[in-house]
Amino acid sequence: MFLRISLLCLIVLCCWETMQVFGNNSTPDCCLLVSHKPIKRHLVKSYRIQTADNSCTRNAVVFITRKNKALCAPPGVEWVKALVAKLDKAHKQKAARRKQKTA
């Protein structure tokens, strides 16, 4: 009887682990390291902010290049702030042009 219960628990545990590995493919894409080397504006098309929470351990600004590569940078550095401001300005200008075309 003990052997049957142990075997059943083992099967349930294996099935649960398999579901965790194969069933949930939503692992976060987190920066593990950041680069302090400045990134040229013409290489970057967008960015996102990564915060240190349950899934990521480091705050970072993730710049997405025109070739869809993610480059991680520290959020408090002046060149990062300047690049984020330039990208925000370009995005607002593009949205304004689209709005004018539809009006």
Q: What domains are there in the chain, each with its CATH number? A: 31-102 (2.40.50.40)
The model's pTM is 0.68
State yes or no: pLDDT of 6 exceeds 50: yes
The torsion angle over the Cα atoms of residues 94, 98, 101 and 103, rounded to 10 degrees, is -130
- 9 pLDDT band, cuts 50/70/90, is low
Q: Which residue has the higher pLDDT, 20 or 2?
A: 2
Region 9-20: what's the mean pLDDT?
A: 55
Q: How many alpha carbons fall within 13 Å on the CB side of residue 23? A: 6
The residues, ordered by sequence, that sit 6+ positions from 84 with a Cβ below 8 Å of its Cβ are 47, 61
